[in-house]
Each structure stands twice: as structure tokens, then as C-alpha cells.
Homo-oligomer: A and B are copies of this chain.
């Protein structure tokens, strides 16, 4: 036995702190490239948070409360994001004739365009990764990540990083 005692962790060939940094840098790199490309394609205003919100709104629209639940934030925060999307021309709010309380947030054609372009850019970026890494290694990477991440949805409350 070389170093499998139960005291200090055995033979960490690599420091553990690098893993989250690499994951974040990878995420950050993709997002930055996406938005650089979107800016080039006529959408210079979008921010990552808007992209996630629009994805969550989807083609069918959503109310602020629903959006908040999907994004893992409060309905007030979701409402503010919707305000911003409205100002930027990516979404509109409409009354729901069936329920006078609800105001459905729907994407405008411009918003749907961002969504479509984003999907295309994401695919293109993934293809670049596949070309650099090899398709099967990228699949492995994705599979491994899928194993390790909790199945719960993706929370986007990056403001206070949790905690009050």
C-alpha cells in the first residue's frame, strides 16, 4: 500500500480546485463566443441572462411566475427580466383573455430570431469542440457531466450566488 490510508486524501495527482475553474472557463468561453457571434449577427444587446430567459419562455410564452419557477428565481426577478426583454424588443406582454390575472410574456419575431441564431451558434461551437477533441471524447465529456450534475434543473440565480 502506497498511499491509500484513510488520513489525508491519497495521491491527488491534480489539485481539486482546478476542476471547477476549468468547468467555468469552458462555460464562459462558449457563452462569450456565442454573444460575440450574436452581436455580429445583429443582436449586440443580448446578455446571457436574457438568452436563458428567452429559452425558458420558449415559443409558447410564459407568465412571470412560470418563468421564475423555470429559472429558479423569484417571480419578481423574472418579472424584471421580462421588463428588460420588453425594453430590448425581444418580448411583449399580453393579457390572457381566459385569466385576468395572467399576463403572458411572448417572444417577438426578433426574440425568436435570437433563439434560432443561438441554437445555430451553439451547434457550430459544439462542432468546433468535436473537431478539436474528437466526437467520441466530447460525447464522453458530456456523458460524464450528465452523470455528475444533479438532475434538478439549472438555477440561474447568479446575482447573490445564493444566500441572503
Contacts and interface: CB of A to CB of B under 8 A. Distances in A.
B149 A25 contact: yes
A27 B19 CA distance: 8
Given A133-B144, A133-B147, 12 more contacts: A16-B122, A16-B124, A16-B127, A18-B142, A19-B126, A19-B129, A19-B142, A20-B30, A23-B145, A29-B148, A47-B161, A132-B148
Given A9-B123, A16-B126, A145 B25 contact: yes
Contacts of A141: 140-141, 144-145
A137 B144 contact: yes
Contacts of A144: 133, 137-138, 141
A123 B15 CA distance: 6
A8 to B, nearest CB: 9
A145 B30 CA distance: 12
A149 B23 CA distance: 9
A148 B15 contact: no
Interface residues of A, number: 62
Contacts of A87: none
A5 interface: no
Contacts of A133: 144, 147-148
